[in-house]
């Protein structure tokens, strides 16, 4: 990111077709989907049902990443009993601009202020760019298997 771009994390409104559509587009993008463990939703209706169920259960919180009022991707917080798991997905047109790191920092800052739980994430080992970003933000690997790393936030 050559100049500082204002990053906002806007809570997802699953009744907002622009937000839901942005998230669907990012989740289904082939360059993004290859970095997920689960398959992307096979259709828009399944995507909406997943969002509604996740949010109504309180299991997940989603935030749309906005850069200069443009939707670039989303972050999520998954609530576990004794920890929080975070995640991030950006549309490839926003890659290599510092948006992912800035977005994750905003998310982590907001969690540190409001929560006292352990913060973790799970990333595919072959996603070197993401692993590097997370290490730069203060995550360290705490568990590893053939396909994935579990990382814990240490700051």
The residue whose two tokens read 């360290």 is 140
Could you tell me which residues come within 8 angstroms of residue 61 by beta carbon, excluding any fewer than 6 positions away?
A: 11, 12, 55, 76, 77, 79
Region 120-140: what's the mean pLDDT?
Answer: 93
Give the chain's domains with CATH numbers. Answer: 7-153 (3.40.630.30)
Contact 84, 117 (CB under 8 A): yes
If one compares 21 and 58, the residue with the highest pLDDT of the two is: 21
Residue 93 has what DSSP assignment? G
Lowest-confidence region among 19-28, 46-55, 93-102, 112-121: 112-121
What confidence score (pLDDT) does residue 55 get?
83
Lowest-confidence region among 7-16, 52-61, 130-139: 52-61
Contact 75, 63 (CB under 8 A): yes
Lowest-confidence region among 1-5, 29-33, 57-61, 110-114: 1-5
Q: Which of 46, 57, 109, 120 is nearest to 83 (CA)?
A: 120
Residues 37 and 40: their CA atoms lie apart, in Å, by 9
What confidence score (pLDDT) does residue 2 get?
42
Enter the pTM of the model.
Answer: 0.89
Could you tell me which residues come within 8 angstroms of residue 13 by beta carbon, excluding any fewer than 6 positions away?
A: 19
Give the H/E segment covering residue 7: strand 7-11
- At 54-98, the pLDDT tens digits run 888 988 999 999 999 899 999 999 988 888 999 999 999 999 999
């Amino acid at each position: 990111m050559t100049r500082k771009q204002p990053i906002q994390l806007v809570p997802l409104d699953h009744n907002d077709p622009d937000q839901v559509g942005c998230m669907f587009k990012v989740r289904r993008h082939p360059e993004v989907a290859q970095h997920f463990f689960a398959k992307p939703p096979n259709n828009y209706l399944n995507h909406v049902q997943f969002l509604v169920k996740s949010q109504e259960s309180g299991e997940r919180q989603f935030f749309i990443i906005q850069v200069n009022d443009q939707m670039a991707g989303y972050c999520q917080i998954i609530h576990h009993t004794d920890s929080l798991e975070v995640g991030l997905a950006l549309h490839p047109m926003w890659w290599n601009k510092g948006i992912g790191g800035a977005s994750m920092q905003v998310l982590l800052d907001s969690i540190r202020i409001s929560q006292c739980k352990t913060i973790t994430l799970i990333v595919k080992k072959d996603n070197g760019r993401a692993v590097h970003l997370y290490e730069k933000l203060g995550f360290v690997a705490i568990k590893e298997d053939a396909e994935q790393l579990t990382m814990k936030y240490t700051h």
